[in-house]
Amino acid sequence: MSLLHTDFSRPAPAIARTRAVTSPAWRFAAAALLGAWGVALLATWLMQGDTGATGVATAAYLAACAFVGHRIQRAYPHDALGWCNLVTLARMGMAAALIVPVLDPGVSGWAVIALAVVALSLDGVDGWLARRQNLCSDFGARFDMEVDAALAALLALNALAAGQAGPLVLILGVPHYLFLVSGWMMPWMARPLPQRLGRKAGCVLQIAALIVVQVPAISPTLATLAVGIAVLALAWSFGRDIHWLWRRRAG
């Protein structure tokens, strides 16, 4: 075949294969498999989890990675995965390791606090990296939000299982999921919301309060106060968003 009749609009098979292997989804898969070792290490070394609890935490992490990888293929708009998504993936691994103390409430509260503080400290780093690398996307924002929600839910469950707080603490672990269910039932609540600093501040306060109640031998009064303040902050944040969506429901 002459060069005049060669179709240059399609990449050569070798190039196409190289692009497929280096695509964001494949890079994410490789990082996720490496992260599974990290989750297992955190679960056994820091959380002192037994084989069963470590296996559950690692399996849950891999299942979440499979879902996120699928979403990358469908909704991620960039050719580069970026450090931003790797940081969020690391935070997801830390959240998965917190499954161990939920299954074994005898784990040291200080170990839970140490891991949760690191995960919270990295919140915002992924967004900063995304802006710096020009890799901002709706996918990245949603990935970050879901990791925050999972972290809050697991900390709430751990506080309850360890007897650090009463059932009221569960309110701090479910608002995001209640909002999602409401969106399925009432489509007007599933509309995109504007970016608001108050919403992010409420999330940070929520997780910070959940970290405080992990402190061993915390007084019931202080635990109730921390949970109550965070519940009020979340009620204000979610109430404002619901009001904003309600006023635009017919639009």
pLDDT tens-place string over residues 81-117 = 999 999 999 999 999 999 999 998 888 899 999 999 9
* pLDDT above 60 (res 9): no
pTM recorded for the entire structure: 0.88
> Are 209 and 172 spatial neighbours (Cβ–Cβ below 8 Å)?
yes
* Residue scoring higher pLDDT (206 or 195): 206
Inside any domain, residue 203 = yes
* Closest residue by Cα to residue 205 from 138, 148, 146: 148
Q: Residue 4: what pLDDT?
A: 37
Residue 3 covered by a domain: no
Domain that holds residue 186: 14-247
Q: Which residues contact 95 (CB under 8 A, 6 or more apart)?
A: 119, 147, 150, 151, 154
Q: Which residue has the higher pLDDT, 7 or 78?
A: 78
Q: Is residue 4 part of a domain?
A: no
At residue 7, the pLDDT reads 42
Mean per-residue pLDDT for 174-201?
Answer: 89
Q: What is the pLDDT of residue 250?
A: 72
Tell me which residue of 205, 212, 191 sits closest to 237, measured CA to CA.
205
Residue 172 within any structural domain of the chain: yes
Q: Domain total for the chain? A: 1
Mean pLDDT (whole number) for 6-22: 44
CATH number at residue 90: 1.20.120
**Does residue 118 belong to any structural domain of this protein?**
yes
Is the predicted pLDDT of residue 240 greater than 60, yes or no?
Answer: yes
By the 8 A CB rule, do 205 and 114 touch? no
116: in domain: yes
pLDDT of residue 16: 38
